[in-house]
Chain A
Amino acid sequence: MSPLGIRLERCAKTFPDGTRALDPLDLEIRAGETLVFLGPSGCGKTTTLRIIAGLEAPDAGGRVLFDGEDVTQVPIENRNVGLVFQSYALFPNMDVRGNVGYGLRIRGVSAAERSARVDEMLAMMRIEALADRRIDQLSGGQRQRVALARALAVRPRALLLDEPLTALDAKLRDTLRVDIDALLRRLGVTSIYVTHDQAEAMALGDRIVVMDHGRVAQVGAPRDVYYTPATAFVADFIGTMNRLQGRVENGQFVTGAGAEMLFRPESVRLAEDGPIAGTVAAAFFLGDHTRIFVDCSGRQVIVESTERREFARGAPIRLSIDAASVMTLKDTP
């Protein structure tokens, strides 16, 4: 089954109580790509996902197109999209096999064929041993795999994932993130992924849509969004961003008169002869690096150091910032 291209035209959403969840949105989702909607809660990312799924209808004038075909009026039952929820939404009255095979049962697939396909899915998600377990006997990570298996069993045209890893603990999240990434690459199915975790977005997405208060702030590949944020919001939301007043002089960045300059912690080096002076406000040893908060020129700059030394509070320190990676924004405050 060839992967699906999706287009959203002028899709907005206003809820009955008046809240404007989504401003009119135009978006092209390429066949086979993994597109991540990223933003804080309430930014409209889940609403957009639900519109694509067919669980919500866009306001009048909005259209959803699957491979050029207008599916705006088509209910979710007939859109053949796979849906994975944050809370998994597994059927408590069926065991794992029953859950995974449910979509096939609806389609009237024969029991033999169904069984074979369920086995295939369980093997792909590496949960064959759980086949006959009841849902309440499974851990969070196992439930997530079952939810994925269930959604994929019917060979959906697109896979929609709504914060699937948010409910899991950090270590499990890291492991599953790798698994999901491998899975999506292998299947080549068009995937739409919603998350508020920017590390997840950068790791999984071919492109990221950063959203804020119902509007799209930026669309682009992870590197573009990270190195050339379009707005202050994107700059601050993705990774950490430092700001200092200054200018580039002789290939070096110096503080003082000038414009508001933005730079990432990794662009800052600790240098004994660096042009920028500051004092250590706080230093947190995080294992593989130390995160240092440096007071300079009345602002705070975050620096990351892999040096093994300890940084005493109040100690003087000198910094050097890589001029090439400093940027300005057209609409910085």
Chain B
Amino acid sequence: MLYLLFLPAGIVFAAFFIVPLGQLFLIGASGRDGWAAYAAILTNRNYLHSLVSTTLLSAAVTAATLLISGIAGVFLTRNRFAGWSALVAALTLPLAFPGVVIGFMVIMLGGRQGLVGDIALRLTGEHLVFAYTMTGLFVGYVYFSIPRTILTVMAAAEKLDPRIEEAARSLGAGPLRVVRDVIVPALKPALLSAGAICFATSMGAFGTAFTLATRINVLPVTIYGVFTEQANIAVAAALSFVLGILTWGVLAAARTAAGSTVAAAG
């Protein structure tokens, strides 16, 4: 009986996901180099460079986001004040913005007429434009990562047992010590899963880099270029399949490390 209830979803899934993925895998090997195309991400210099930059960028974004969300998230869980709800609402607003809009936000901040540029001009005399560089991409990725991670952090922080912190304090631990010995270890599963999602999403993000165009070379943009400009479907297929395995692998690893189901965001 239960299987009947699964059937509609199962059919849709099989037809539109499982089979296409299998097809993608096969197409990846149908090109000029055959199965060697799957190693191209490591053997081809351009692709390898793209992979490395994307990985480094994603790692940096994850570190920055976890730090920011960790601090703000725990603070918000512990303190209530006038305007609290508005603040939380504002922090989680960009949750559904497409990469295009994020890219636009970065241009607003760091483009040729950007806010940061204006402020920098007034303070230092130098006009700062960062939107179209790796920095701009970094800012954009952090922009869409904060709302997702902060919700996870806040949910976990709410479950912290205040008694354990009081016990640590009764034994003489000052506030920083309490953060290090009690709060961070307790938040570890949440930080791990939020960090994994952040990393995986950054690796696969396309819209933001696409909007900021120019010569930022992240993997999804590279793949897109191979697909549209070079019309090399096989290599594009192989590369995107490898990228898919990579992001899925990161999330799966974090899931086993954190123990429970990881809430994948959009």
Tell whether any CB of A sits under 8 Å from a CB of B in the complex. yes
Give the distance to chain A from B232, nearest Cβ to Cβ, in Å: 50
Complex interface residues of chain A between 90 and 113 (CB less than 8 A to chain B): 90-93, 102-103, 106-107
Chain B residues with CB under 8 Å of chain A are 161, 163-164, 166-174, 177, 181-182, 185-186, 188
- Which 4 pairs between the two chains have the least Cβ-Cβ distance? A103-B171, A93-B185, A83-B170, A89-B163
A81 contacts chain B at the CB level, 8 A cutoff: yes
A residues touching B (Cβ–Cβ < 8 Å)? Answer: 53, 55, 75-83, 85, 87, 89-93, 102-103, 106-107, 150-151, 154
Are A77 and B167 neighbours in the complex by a CB distance under 8 Å? no
B172 to A106, Cβ gap below 8 A?
yes
Of all chain B residues, the one with the shortest Cβ separation from A16 is: B80
Q: How far is the CA of A6 from the CA of B188 in the complex (A)?
A: 40
Interface pair B168/A87, CB less than 8 Å apart: no
Q: Are A83 and B173 in contact (CB under 8 A)?
A: no
A-B contact pairs, 30 of them (CB 8 A): A53-B170, A75-B169, A76-B169, A77-B170, A77-B173, A77-B174, A78-B172, A80-B172, A81-B170, A82-B170, A85-B163, A85-B167, A87-B163, A90-B167, A91-B168, A91-B181, A91-B182, A92-B185, A92-B186, A93-B181, A93-B186, A102-B168, A102-B173, A103-B171, A103-B172, A106-B171, A106-B173, A107-B172, A151-B170, A154-B172
CA distance A94 to B103 in the complex (A): 44
Contact A77 B172 (CB under 8 A): yes
Give Cα A305 to B185, complex, Å.
57
Give Cα distance in the complex from A78 to B169, angstroms: 9
| Nearest-neighbor residue (CB-CB) of B166 within chain A | A55
B80 to chain A, nearest CB (A): 10
| Shortest beta-carbon distance from B157 to chain A in Å | 16
Residues of A within 8 A of B173 (CB): 77, 102, 106
Rounded to whole Å, the gap between the CB of B69 and the closest CB of chain A is 21
A81 to B167, CA, bound (A): 10
A151 cross-chain contacts in B, Cβ below 8 A: 170-171
**Complex contact B163–A102 (CB within 8 A):** no
- What residues of A have a CB within 8 angstroms of the CB of B185 in the complex? 91-93
A79 to B163, CA, bound (A): 17
Bound CA–CA A321/B32 (angstroms):
108
Which residues of B are found within 8 Å of A107, using beta-carbon distances? 172
Which chain B residues lie closer than 8 Å to A89 at the CB level? 161, 163-164, 166-167
